Amino acid sequence: MDFITWTDKMSVGVDSLDADHKKLLGIFNRLHRLIREKDETEKLSLIIEELDEYAGYHFNTEEKILSLCKYPDLEVHKTHHEKISKTLSKFMAKHKKGTDLAKNLEFYDFVSDWMLRHVLGEDRKYVEHISNRNNKKVG
């Protein structure tokens, strides 16, 4: 069962960013199944690599869009992304050294927090700004 199911309420109002967030939540749900439901149909290393690659791509895209929209809190938002990237890199390094992250609840908590607090929290802070800009453009 999915831990987080996407609903339209989660939309940030930009189709490409919504698609990225859906993809990230999808990766997280697979990780959740693997760790919490002990579903071993997937390999943890593949999920972690996908998460790392996709996070890098998504943070870049989101920052570019926010920059184009002149989002005033872009620098703060970037620091959140950097912190997530650094923590993820640390876990990746542990994983490469042989730590079994499937049994590491700190790793699970970190990714849950990222999805719940950042994707469904911090990222929502720019929704109003983007929506106001779009309305101004149309009006």
Q: Rounded to the nearest whole angstrom, what is the least distance from the CB of residue 92 to Fe ion in the complex?
A: 19
User: Of 123 and 130, which has the nearer Cβ to Fe ion?
Assistant: 123
What would the x/- binding string for Fe ion be over residues 32 to 71, using CB under 5 A? ------------------------------x---------
Q: Rounded to the nearest whole angstrom, what is the least distance from the CB of residue 134 to Fe ion in the complex?
A: 18
Please tell me the distance from the alpha carbon of residue 117 to that of residue 109, in angstroms, as a whole number: 11
Q: Rounded to the nearest whole angstrom, what is the least distance from the CB of residue 11 to Fe ion in the complex?
A: 12
Please tell me the distance from the alpha carbon of residue 83 to that of residue 85, in angstroms, as a whole number: 5
Please tell me the distance from the alpha carbon of residue 117 to that of residue 77, in angstroms, as a whole number: 12
Using CB under 5 A as the binding rule, whether residue 123 contacts Fe ion is answered as yes
Residues with Cβ < 8 Å from 99, sequence gap 6 or more?
none
Q: Which stretch binds Fe ion (CB under 5 A): 28-36, 90-98, 104-112, 122-130?
A: 122-130
**E strands within the chain?**
none
Contact 60, 42 (CB under 8 A): no
Q: Which residues bind Fe ion (CB under 5 A)?
A: 62, 123
